[in-house]
Chains A and B, each alone.
Chain A
Amino acid sequence: KQEVTQIPAALSVPEGENLVLNCSFTDSAIYNLQWFRQDPGKGLTSLLLIQSSQREQTSGRLNASLDKSSGRSTLYIAASQPGDSATYLCAVSYSYNTDKLIFGTGTRLQVFP
């Protein structure tokens, strides 16, 4: 069964810290991997998408890396800010059905001033 796990489930850090969120997947033959942000009671916003042939993607203070062989991805957030407080979810897709994303349960991040 293809599963996606995110550790830790929750994280609380002071403003300014650099932090790493982890995502692992059981079947390494992914098509791509995506990181999303979800604010409480809201929909999801796509942050970064990494194709299976790529090793990392960057957007501003965010950097996502992908290691297919070990079934892992990390989301690195530099110089965290209170506005980064949200739940971060990763999702993978496979080539047999690229319409179906398999989501992790998310990491709830709180950045306090």
Chain B
Amino acid sequence: DGGITQSPKYLFRKEGQNVTLSCEQNLNHDAMYWYRQDPGQGLRLIYYSQIVNDFQKGDIAEGYSVSREKKESFPLTVTSAQKNPTAFYLCASSLFSGANVLTFGAGSRLTVL
């Protein structure tokens, strides 16, 4: 079955550590996205990639980094520069940039201790 796989589902990190969240899709989608969700708030766009080897900052990119070396993979690194990294992170993809019909992964919950 086609879909998006995010790992790990739960992650605990000490302050000052970088962590990388994995996002893999087998849908042959061109565009991929990372969102952050906090309690009581809507999803906010961190980074997105319209095509391989290209990515753009979203609304809250500070303290995060991404890469898109392969079409199916879009990992997100939460760096120590992110002031409040505890959140639920969602990866999504769409057939092409701007298609808007997104397929989401199940999410990764990051807790900073």
Interface residues of A (CB under 8 A from B): 4, 31-32, 34, 41-46, 49, 89, 91, 93, 98-106
Contacts and interface: CB of A to CB of B under 8 A. Distances in A.
Nearest to A33: B100
B2 interface: no
B42 A4 contact: yes
B104 A99 contact: no
A44 B42 contact: no
B41 interface: yes
A46 B101 contact: yes
Given A99-B33, A99-B98, A105 B41 contact: yes
B64 interface: no
Contacts of B33: 99
A89 B43 contact: yes
Given A99-B33, A100-B45, A105-B40, A32 B100 contact: yes
Interface of B: 4, 6, 31, 33, 40-45, 48, 50, 56, 58-59, 88, 90, 92, 97-98, 100-107, 109
Main DSSP-derived SS at the A contact region: strand
A93 B105 CA distance: 20
Given A34-B100, A99-B97, 5 more contacts: A41-B88, A43-B92, A49-B101, A98-B97, A99-B48
A103 B104 CA distance: 14
Contact of B102 (A31, A42, A46, A104): A46
Contacts of A104: 42
B90 A103 contact: no
